[in-house]
Chain A
Amino acid sequence: EAGVVQSPRYKIIEKKQPVAFWCNPISGHNTLYWYLQNLGQGPELLIRYENEEAVDDSQLPKDRFSAERLKGVDSTLKIQPAELGDSAVYLCASSLAGPYNEQFFGPGTRLTVL
C-alpha cells in the first residue's frame, strides 16, 4: 500500500513569491493534516480536514496561508507571499476517520525562502 505522497520534496524560492505544496493521502483516509516543522522543533498542526471540510484551522496563519481539499482526497497548501521565516518542513499526514486512528506521515516538503 502506498504511503502519503508529497510533492515537491524540496523547494527554494525568493521572499514575496508564492509557493504551493501538494499532498495525496493514503487511499481511504478521510482525515488529512498539514503540519509545520521548524528546524529543531516538533511538528505543529496547521489544519485538519475531515473530507472536504476544514474542521480545525485555528493555527493556520490566514493572512498568507491557505489550504484546500476540493474533492476530499488530495490537498494543497499555499503560501502567498512567502517570508524568510516560512523556511521549514511542511508535513502532510492522513488517517482513517474517527478520533482514535493513527496518523501516517508523508516525507514532507522542505521549503527554503531566500
Chain B
Amino acid sequence: AQSVTQLGSHVSVSEGALVLLRCNYSSSVPPYLFWYVQYPNQGLQLLLKYTSAATLVKGINGFEAEFKKSETSFHLTKPSAHMSDAAEYFCAVSLGGFQKLVFGTGTRLLVSP
C-alpha cells in the first residue's frame, strides 16, 4: 500500500529564509503526489500536485516541489518565507486518480520575524 512520511513535525524559519518541507513516499507504481496547506480553523487547500508530467512542479504562493524517483521524495520548497506561510502542510499520495488520498502526518511551519 502507498504511504508518505513527512520528516519533522515542526519546522521553524525566519522571514525571508528558504523553506524546505520533506516528504518521502512509498509506492510500488508511479504515484500521484500532492501538497496541501491548512491554515488554522480552515480546510485544506491544494498547493500543487505531481501527475507524472514535469518533475518540477510549481504551485500557488511561490511554492514548488520536485519529484525525485531515485530518492522517492517530493520535497516542498519556497525561496523566501513570508509570515503568511505559517500553517500546517500535508503531503499526500494516491494511485489511479485523485480520489483515494493518503496523507502524511503533517509539518507545522513556523515563521519568525
Give chain A's interface residues, CB within 8 Å of chain B.
3-4, 9, 31, 40-45, 48, 56, 91, 93, 95, 99-108
- Closest partner residue, chain B, to A104 (CB atom): B43
Given contacts A4-B43, A106-B43, A40 and B106 within 8 Å (CB-CB):
yes
In this assembly, does B44 line the interface, its C-beta being within 8 Å of a C-beta of chain A? yes
Question: Is the beta-carbon distance between A108 and B101 smaller than 8 angstroms?
Answer: no
- Closest partner residue, chain A, to B108 (CB atom): A40
B101 to chain A, nearest CB (A): 7
Q: Is the interface of B mostly helix, strand, loop or mixed?
A: loop
Q: Is the interface of A mostly helix, strand, loop or mixed?
A: loop
7 contacts between A and B (CB under 8 A): A4-B43, A9-B41, A42-B104, A42-B106, A56-B100, A106-B43, A107-B43
Q: Once the chains are docked, how many angstroms separate the CA of A9 from the CA of B92?
A: 25
Question: Is the beta-carbon distance between A41 and B97 smaller than 8 angstroms?
Answer: no
Q: Once the chains are docked, how many angstroms separate the CA of A42 from the CA of B12?
A: 20
Given contacts A40-B9, A105-B43, A99 and B105 within 8 Å (CB-CB):
no
Question: Is the beta-carbon distance between B46 and A42 smaller than 8 angstroms?
Answer: no
Question: Is the beta-carbon distance between B98 and A99 smaller than 8 angstroms?
Answer: yes
